[in-house]
Structure 1
Amino acid sequence: MYQAHKTGNVLLYTCHDETPFGHDPFVYENYIGIITSGSADQYTDKGVITYPTGSLRLVKRNQLLKVVKKPDGQKPFATITVFLEQETLKQYSAEHNVKADGVYVGEPVTLVENDAFLTGYFGSLLPYFDQPEKLTPVLAEAKTTEVIALLLRNPALKNFLFDFSEPHKIDLEAYMQRHFTYNVPLTQFAKLTGRSLSTFKRDFARIFSTTPEKWLQKQRLAQARFLVSQKNKRPSDIYLELGFETLSHFSYAFKKQFGQTLTELQTLSRANS
């Protein structure tokens, strides 16, 4: 069970249950968000990063992000998120003559120091959890402008905020090997690798000698086989992590690919361990 109230760029979100990965982990716009209750686990190709209550993250647009949101006992998982949309940032840039010095090359998720000013800023938004109707569009716009100004106290964040360039063409093979478990449309994989959809499909066929759909399924199922047989993972715990939308589809695809059920593989693995 969750509640979400969004006015303008400001989103107030609470959830009383642990949430699995969403079906669309693509980050469309920059945002800054603070966890006011609970914690979040971010799954990356290098492992899991846990963000406790109080974590303040600045997240870059045009990336893939897998997060599990966790309540804290009787306390729900709750966040305040302010989206820093491109049009808003372009308007701020023009009005205040602030421009990027170059393309942003830092981390796509940056922890921001929650100093007295930012603590006060997010504290001023907390009362709206109880009275969300009081957060008017005018107030939400003012709060968005305020947080941009607060972030710009750190000159290193100027390129993060005001780099309006689109993803450039990158190594497709390396990118797909790192991100094949993300359940997103091919159009988003194309965008993130700096290609049109037609160019993405053409380059993909040249590199992998198959279609993206067939390759993605094969990679995900091979990873599933490894996790179940070698790491004793339960299918119900990994199907979302591997990019499958339902456990039934995962089980059907696995049996079709390998000629055995996941239950049979689990039984065999336990017998051999």
Structure 2
Amino acid sequence: MESKTQSAILYSCYYNVSRDGENFVPDHTLSYQISGTLTLNDGSKSYPSKVGALRLVRRNQLLKFVKQPSEKESFKSLSIYFTQEVLKDFSLEYGITADKKPMDNPVIDINSNAFFNNYIQSMLDYQQADNFHDERLVKLKLREGILLLLHADPRLKDILFDFADPYKIDLEAFMNKNFHFNVHLDRFAYLTGRSLASFKRDFEKQFNTTPGRWLLQKRLQEAYYLITTKRKAPSDIYIDLGFEDLSHFSYTFKKQFGIAPSKINQ
């Protein structure tokens, strides 16, 4: 695996299938697929890519990433991160603000054009020349990217320049949808519009247990269902259920159900 990055720009190259451990997307991200495929999943829907795909991934999302090389080429992608600081500076300078409720889509396909093609090619040329150590150049390329996005779809301003934090939402529905994401509790708290302390307090009131215990039980119950009913192999599901390694998953599964997950379908 190879990654080259300078602050807000990341060039990635993977020779084997990779699943990212970090599922929280903190910044709006413009993603370009050079080769291979990148499949995103928000827990309800998958968003597969293809070579040449250009997509805007919205901030404050929980997403799973599967990076798949093709038979002939490694996985390669270019990611451009638009931080809140960069977008706020742009908003102040150009007087562009959000004035409508943003679209709900977590992943938005961007129709490429000659301007975007030239922009992406220039980014790849700069990467090859190792020119992203110049912060002034990075800042210039970020602003160019924002302008191109607004030119391609003016409605994107309601996404890019929406600086509001997540509002308080239904805790039970959110956790039942997102329990399989392996993120820290403070991420869950933030995305449900709560401080960590209020998240823990509301959680115990709602579920009559701590978040850590509930998450473990929920993931194990789902694992048992997938293995016994769907005949899934433990090695195929443990990452998708939020476990970091197979040995820990097998240990906790056996402790809970009295049998190793690998023995159930034998």
State the one-letter code of the partner of 1:28.
P
Name the CA shift for 1:178/1:49 in 2 (closer, same or farther; >3 Å): same
Counterpart check, 1:156 vs 2:155: yes
Q: How does 1:84-233 map to 2 (within 5 A)?
A: 84-133=82-131, 136-153=134-151, 154-233=153-232
State the one-letter code of the partner of 2:13.
T
Q: Is the 8 A contact 1:59 1:109 kept in 2?
A: yes
Aligned equivalents of 1:108 and 1:250: distance in 2?
Answer: 30
What is aligned with 1:263? 262
What is aligned with 1:24? 22
Q: Calculate the TM-score normalised by the size of structure 2.
A: 0.95
Q: Quick check: 55-64 or 128-137, which moved more? A: 128-137
Aligned equivalents of 1:180 and 1:134: distance in 2?
Answer: 37
Match of 1:254, SS state, is helix
Aligned equivalents of 1:46 and 1:64: distance in 2?
Answer: 11
State the one-letter code of the partner of 1:7.
Q
State the one-letter code of the partner of 1:51.
S
Aligned equivalents of 2:31 and 2:262: distance in 1?
Answer: 41
Q: Quick check: 73-82 or 169-178, which moved more? A: 73-82
Q: Quick check: 170-179 or 72-81, which moved more? A: 72-81
| Partner of residue 68 from structure 1, selected from 50, 66, 69 | 66
Q: Calculate the TM-score normalised by the size of structure 1.
A: 0.93
Deviations 1:33-87 (A, max 9, x none): 1011110122333343321111111011111110110111231111111111100
Q: Is the 8 A contact 1:39 1:52 kept in 2?
A: yes
Structure 1 moving runs of 4+ over 3 Å: none
Q: Quick check: 130-139 or 114-123, which moved more? A: 130-139
| Partner of residue 77 from structure 1, selected from 65, 75, 78 | 75
1:136 CA displacement:
2.8
Q: How does 1:230-245 map to 2 (within 5 A)?
A: 230-245=229-244
Q: 5+ residue gaps in structure 2?
A: none
Deviations 1:12-49 (A, max 9, x none): 111111102x2221111111110111101223333433
Name the CA shift for 1:134/1:6 in 2 (closer, same or farther; >3 Å): closer
Q: How many residues align?
A: 265
Name the CA shift for 1:224/1:52 in 2 (closer, same or farther; >3 Å): same
1:198 CA displacement:
0.8
Q: Is the 8 A contact 1:103 1:165 kept in 2?
A: no
State the one-letter code of the partner of 2:263.
E
1:132 CA displacement:
2.1
Match of 1:6, SS state, is strand
Q: 5+ residue gaps in structure 1?
A: 268-273
State the one-letter code of the partner of 1:178.
K
Aligned equivalents of 1:134 and 1:7: distance in 2?
Answer: 6
State the one-letter code of the partner of 2:54.
L
Match of 2:5, SS state, is strand
Deviations 1:185-215 (A, max 9, x none): 1000000000001110111111111111111
Match of 1:51, SS state, is coil
Match of 1:125, SS state, is helix
Aligned equivalents of 1:143 and 1:134: distance in 2?
Answer: 10
1:135 CA displacement:
5.8
Q: Is the 8 A contact 1:169 1:195 kept in 2?
A: yes
Q: Give the root-mean-square deviation of aligned CA atoms.
A: 1.4
